[in-house]
Amino acid sequence: MAKSASQPVALNPDTLTPATPAEFLTRGWLYYARGNYKAAEEDFRKALETNANDPEALYALGLNLLAAGRSQEAVEIFEKASNAAGAIDDHVRASMIQRLIKGHINRIRTGNWNLDR
């Protein structure tokens, strides 16, 4: 049966050839979603080569490290991402990213999101 226009198309990251940081970030998320944390990490780090303080790429790398069981490294990257998010012009977006990061760090350290702290 053919897919309708409203159904999402599953992208295979192995068929993509990224050239820009945004494309590496996108392919990294696709690898992450498939549980291929090694390939995802490579792409997230490649996305950071142009801008080492890209909060979205840092956040993605932090989540990937966490999923790969490397929680201490994830905390370091999350802290860097939180600092970088402060430079986002959209203050609501920056606040949301920082709050998510804070929750992940708290969960790693205490086992609870503790967003009030």
Of 8-22, 70-84, 101-115, least confident by mean pLDDT is: 8-22
Identify the band that residue 37 occupies on the pLDDT scale cut at 50, 70 and 90: very high
Q: Quote the pTM value.
A: 0.88
Dump pLDDT digits (tens) for 40-99. Answer: 999 999 999 999 999 999 999 999 999 999 999 999 999 999 999 999 999 999 999 999
69 compared with 4, residue with greater pLDDT = 69
Question: How many Å apart are CA 10 and CA 8, to the nearest integer?
Answer: 6
> 29-38, 73-82, 85-94, 108-117: lowest mean pLDDT where?
108-117
User: Which CATH fold topology does 18-110 show?
Assistant: 1.25.40
